[in-house]
């Protein structure tokens, strides 16, 4: 039956769930549709944006390179028609100089003939011009430099070299390719021989009569201008743009100065010579560019217009989209423009809108829930309160009392019956331990006669001289003070998990370890005893201020095996404990008046808690009704909380007691007397002084074991 009830849902919960569920479902569908369509649209627009940037970059790059093609073709035609003479150095120099002035991005113009001679005009970093002329005569090569700026003489000196080792234009890729293809050609990007900067060459063969090759005229373009151009494009902070060739080498990266441009060049050793090459995209330090290129090998690459490729990848926790746009096939360049953008740059707006939409969905869901709560509350609130109160009663929490009102007569009648049951149970709880009844309810068991052996810690307390105190007070006042006193004790016992067994007039009997097992029952009992004395001290200080007479409470504690369970008849039972340990705890409480102590603990308890509390060994006592003597101790404080004065007393008292046990009564008497002289007016000290004097006059029997035989309870 319990399991069936557990599966049912409340009426109120059902109403709220249905309303909220419908709102959440509809809002979620609208939100999801808005999100995915918006994301798809933005993704499409982002692709178009990257293609537009790529197209702009492509047009600029082709126009940048086109001037060199035009210049090479023009130069070849002028040379063929003898409008410029390749064998006339001055005319060639004048022509080259003008061409470099006309096109600022041209780096060099040079002409190499079939004999290995070279005539070159180079634009330097400071925009001045330098002329290089290489002439071969027999087995020698003469390199002559003429500089507008004389400071370049050191960097580019004149040389006389062995012809085989000197610069030979006929061995350069641009010469060989132009000679082979017999038309205007473009070389792959490479590092210029003269200044180790990346560039590209446009070359055109020059033919004489009968189409005999005379030489090759070339124009060098530094790729720095492309990098500087890329730096001017307005893209996001995390976005990247670059140009690659078919060898996976980076042709251009956004750069604003020569230092940034140097990142494109990689130095390496070829034997003993230092050489330079373009940086591979796989070697670049920028992880975003590197990962963008590697993403091209993934199967999810998408194709766009004009054979462009689009990918998405993740680097350092960020999502990026990339687009690779190839140069047209008829351009002669097998290059790609790579564009990488952080997805968040163009998704931020849609993400913001989605957050607003999500907030609206949450708002309407909360509104629907609120309406559902208001609607269902009037119907289900009285029943829900009744169910909650039933749960409180099941746990025997009977002090909370919330009035249950309903316009429904059936619910009102149930609430009235329920309140009568609560009142009856409250009265019942004052006669029976709450934990016991709670366990019986939870286990669905009826209380029956029976008991079992179990190790528990038993507690007895009593008020010293209660009879004389009660004679001084009116009965009503006595009952009032006793109620306050017993409440203080009972609260401390119950709060620590103890069970109050019974009240015997002013005495209290309690135990720990049942009905619920407690491995630390001995610790709980000792700790509670200390807390009781502390609480009573505060209570009695208040009484003294009110002119009341305080009580002196004595406590006895013993740990051992007892029989615990339901004792009595089939008509009336009591959950209690019986056994020698119970009797010993009662006797220990009584022995406090002999020694002037407040908390006395048996040897069995001491052995279990001596590492947690501070004790003073009092005596070896055979309590009344027992032949076997046990050591008894005074419980003083928690471990480490003994005052210096008490530590001195305990140490000296123990030393004196050890002498007493070994029948060294004269020495023991001196120590006990010294303690009294130090101001320790303790009844136990006076007791042992009298005993020592007595044993000095009348020594104990030969078989005396130091035990004291108690004759009173």
Q: 26-35, 91-100, 118-127, 604-613 — which is least confidently predicted?
A: 26-35
**Cα dihedral sign, 188-193-194-196:** positive
Please report the pLDDT score of residue 446 as a whole number.
54
Q: Can you point out the beta strands (E) in 279-435?
A: 302-303, 309-315, 318-326, 336-342
Tokens of 673: 């007397």
Task: State the average pLDDT for the chain.
Answer: 81
Tokens of 518: 């407690």
Radius of gyration for the alpha carbons in the chain, expressed in angstroms and rounded: 53
Distance set, CA 597 to CA 53, 205, 541, 617, 649 (Å): 96, 123, 19, 12, 14
Closest CA to 372 of 11, 27, 29: 11
Tokens of 413: 């009648």
Distance set, CA 563 to CA 457, 499, 511 (Å): 12, 15, 12
Q: What are the pLDDT digits (tens) for 27-56?
A: 777 767 766 666 666 666 666 777 777 777
User: How many whole angstroms separate alpha carbon 156 and alpha carbon 136?
Assistant: 18
Is residue 613 left, alpha or beta, with left meaning phi > 0 and alpha meaning psi from -120 to 50? beta
Helix (H) or strand (E) holding 555: strand 553-568
What confidence category does residue 709 fall into, taking pLDDT thresholds of 50, 70 and 90?
Answer: confident
Cα 394 to the chain's mean position, in Å?
A: 40
Burial code of 327-349, b = ≥16 C-beta within 10 A, e = fewer? beeebebebbbbbbbbbebbbee
- Rounded to the nearest 10 degrees, the angle between the axes of helix 11-80 and helix 89-102 is 160
Cis upstream peptide for 515 (omega within 30°): yes
Residue 201 dihedral angles phi and psi, to the nearest 5° = -120, 135
Burial code of 136-149, b = ≥16 C-beta within 10 A, e = fewer? beeeebbbebebee
What confidence category does residue 2 fall into, taking pLDDT thresholds of 50, 70 and 90?
Answer: very low
Q: What are the pLDDT digits (tens) for 441-488?
A: 565 545 567 788 999 999 999 998 888 887 888 888 888 888 899 999
User: How many whole angstroms separate alpha carbon 314 and alpha carbon 462?
Assistant: 78
C-beta separation of 481 from 473 below 8 A: yes
Tokens of 164: 């085989």
What confidence category does residue 69 fall into, taking pLDDT thresholds of 50, 70 and 90?
Answer: confident
450: helix, strand or coil: strand
Q: What are the pLDDT digits (tens) for 660-702?
A: 989 999 999 999 999 887 777 788 999 999 999 999 999 988 8
Alpha helix segments (H runs only) across 430-474? 434-442, 466-472
Distance set, CA 204 to CA 110, 123, 474, 624 (Å): 11, 20, 132, 130
1: helix, strand or coil: coil
What confidence category does residue 4 fall into, taking pLDDT thresholds of 50, 70 and 90?
Answer: very low
Q: Which residues pair with 652 in a beta bridge?
A: none
Cα 667 to the chain's mean position, in Å?
A: 67
Closest CA to 216 of 129, 319, 116, 293: 116
Please report the pLDDT score of residue 1 as a whole number.
41
Closest CA to 526 of 637, 671, 655, 686: 637
Q: 255-269, 285-299, 414-428 — which is least confidently predicted?
A: 414-428
Please name each of the domains of the chain with its CATH number.
2-50+346-387 (no CATH), 79-343 (3.30.450.20), 396-428 (no CATH), 441-641 (3.30.70.1230), 643-713 (no CATH)
Length of the chain: 713
Tokens of 293: 């290129």
Looking at residue 228, the DSSP 8-state letter turns out to be H
Residues 358-369: what's their mean pLDDT? 74
Please report the pLDDT score of residue 3 as a whole number.
45
Q: 56-65, 211-220, 360-369, 606-615 — which is least confidently predicted?
A: 360-369
Which of the two residues, 344 and 667, has the higher pLDDT score? 667
Q: Other CB atoms closer than 10 Å to residue 501's CB: what's the count?
A: 21
Please report the pLDDT score of residue 569 as a whole number.
80
Q: What is the SS3 assignment for 614-638?
A: EEEEEEEEECCCCCCCEEEEEEEEE
Residues 130-156: what's their mean pLDDT? 88
Please report the pLDDT score of residue 588 as a whole number.
93
Please report the pLDDT score of residue 379 as a whole number.
60
Is residue 14 pLDDT above 60, yes or no?
A: yes
Is residue 417 pLDDT above 80, yes or no?
A: no
Burial code of 375-413, b = ≥16 C-beta within 10 A, e = fewer? ebeeebebbbbbeebeebeeebebeeeeebebeeeebee
Please report the pLDDT score of residue 397 as a whole number.
61
Q: 275-279, 390-394, 547-551, 707-711 — which is least confidently predicted?
A: 390-394
Tokens of 500: 């109050």
Is residue 622 pLDDT above 50, yes or no?
A: yes
pTM over 0.95: no
C-beta separation of 143 from 133 below 8 A: yes
Which of the two residues, 639 and 709, has the higher pLDDT score? 639
Closest CA to 81 of 206, 172, 233, 192: 206
Q: What percent of the chain has pLDDT over 90?
A: 22
Please report the pLDDT score of residue 350 as a whole number.
67
Please report the pLDDT score of residue 529 as a whole number.
95
Please report the pLDDT score of residue 682 as a whole number.
86
What confidence category does residue 111 fall into, taking pLDDT thresholds of 50, 70 and 90?
Answer: confident
What confidence category does residue 425 fall into, taking pLDDT thresholds of 50, 70 and 90?
Answer: low
């Amino acid at each position: 039956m319990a399991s069936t009830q557990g599966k049912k849902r409340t009426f109120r919960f059902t109403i709220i769930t249905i309303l909220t569920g419908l709102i959440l479902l509809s809002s979620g569908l609208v939100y999801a549709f808005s999100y995915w369509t918006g994301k798809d649209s933005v993704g499409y627009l982002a692709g178009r944006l990257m293609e537009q940037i790529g197209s702009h970059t492509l047009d600029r790059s082709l126009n940048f390179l086109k001037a060199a093609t035009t210049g090479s073709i023009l130069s070849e035609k002028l040379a063929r028609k003898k409008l410029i003479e390749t064998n006339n150095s001055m005319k060639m120099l004048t022509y080259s100089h003008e061409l470099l002035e006309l096109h600022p991005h041209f780096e060099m113009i040079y002409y190499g003939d079939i004999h290995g001679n070279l005539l070159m005009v180079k634009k330097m970093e400071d925009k001045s011009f330098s002329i290089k002329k290489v002439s071969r005569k027999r087995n020698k090569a003469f390199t002559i430099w003429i500089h507008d700026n004389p400071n370049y003489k050191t960097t580019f000196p004149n040389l006389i070299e062995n012809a085989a080792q000197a610069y030979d234009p006929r061995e350069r890729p641009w010469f060989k390719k132009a000679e082979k293809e017999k038309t205007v050609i473009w070389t792959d990007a490479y590092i210029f021989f003269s200044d180790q900067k990346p560039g590209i060459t446009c070359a055109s063969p020059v033919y004489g009569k009968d189409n005999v090759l005379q030489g090759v005229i070339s124009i060098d373009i530094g790729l720095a201008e492309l990098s500087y151009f890329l730096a001017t494009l307005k893209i996001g902070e995390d976005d990247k743009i670059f140009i690659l060739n078919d060898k996976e080498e980076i042709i251009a990266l956004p750069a604003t100065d020569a230092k940034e441009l140097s990142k494109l060049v990689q130095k390496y050793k070829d034997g003993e010579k230092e050489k330079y090459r373009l940086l591979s995209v796989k070697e670049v330090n920028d992880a975003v560019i590197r990962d963008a290129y590697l993403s091209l090998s993934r199967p999810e690459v998408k194709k766009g217009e004009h054979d462009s490729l689009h990918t998405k990848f993740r680097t350092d926790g960020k999502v990026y989209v990339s687009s690779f746009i190839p140069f047209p096939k008829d351009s002669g360049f097998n290059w790609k423009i790579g564009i990488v953008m952080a997805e968040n740059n163009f998704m931020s707006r849609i993400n913001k809108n989605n957050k607003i939409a999500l907030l609206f969905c949450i708002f309407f869901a909360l509104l629907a829930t609120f309406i559902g709560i208001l609607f269902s509350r009037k119907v289900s609130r009285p029943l829900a309160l009744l169910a909650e109160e039933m749960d409180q009663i099941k746990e025997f929490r009977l002090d909370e009392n919330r009035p249950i009102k309903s316009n429904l007569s059936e619910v009102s009648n149930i609430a009235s019956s329920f309140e009568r049951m609560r009142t009856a149970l409250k009265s019942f709880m004052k006669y029976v331990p709450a934990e016991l009844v709670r366990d019986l309810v939870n286990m669905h068991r009826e209380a029956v006669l029976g008991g079992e052996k179990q190790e528990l810690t038993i507690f007895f307390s009593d008020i010293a001289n209660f009879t004389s105190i009660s004679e001084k007070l009116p009965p009503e006042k006595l009952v009032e003070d006793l109620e306050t006193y017993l409440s203080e004790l009972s609260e401390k016992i119950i709060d620590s998990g103890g069970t109050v067994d019974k009240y015997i007039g002013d005495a209290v009997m309690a135990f720990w370890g049942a009905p619920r097992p407690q491995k630390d029952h001995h610790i709980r009992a000792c700790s509670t005893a200390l807390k009781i004395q502390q609480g009573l001290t505060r209570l009695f200080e208040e009484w003294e201020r009110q002119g009341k007479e305080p009580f002196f409470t004595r406590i006895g504690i013993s740990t051992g095996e007892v029989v615990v369970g339901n004792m009595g008849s089939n008509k009336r039972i009591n959950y209690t404990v019986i056994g020698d340990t119970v009797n010993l705890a009662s006797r220990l409480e009584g022995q406090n008046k002999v020694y002037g102590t407040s908390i006395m603990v048996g040897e069995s308890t001491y052995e279990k808690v001596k590492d947690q509390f501070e004790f003073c060994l009092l005596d070896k006592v055979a309590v009344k009704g027992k032949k076997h003597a046990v050591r008894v101790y005074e419980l003083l404080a928690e471990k480490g909380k003994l005052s210096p004065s008490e530590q001195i007393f305990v140490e000296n008292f123990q030393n004196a007691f050890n002498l007493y046990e070994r029948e060294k009564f004269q020495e023991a008497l001196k120590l006990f007397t010294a303690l009294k002289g130090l101001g320790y007016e303790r009844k136990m000290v006076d007791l042992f002084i009298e005993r020592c004097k007595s044993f000095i006059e009348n020594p104990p029997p030969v078989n005396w074991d130091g035990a004291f035989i108690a004759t009173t309870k």
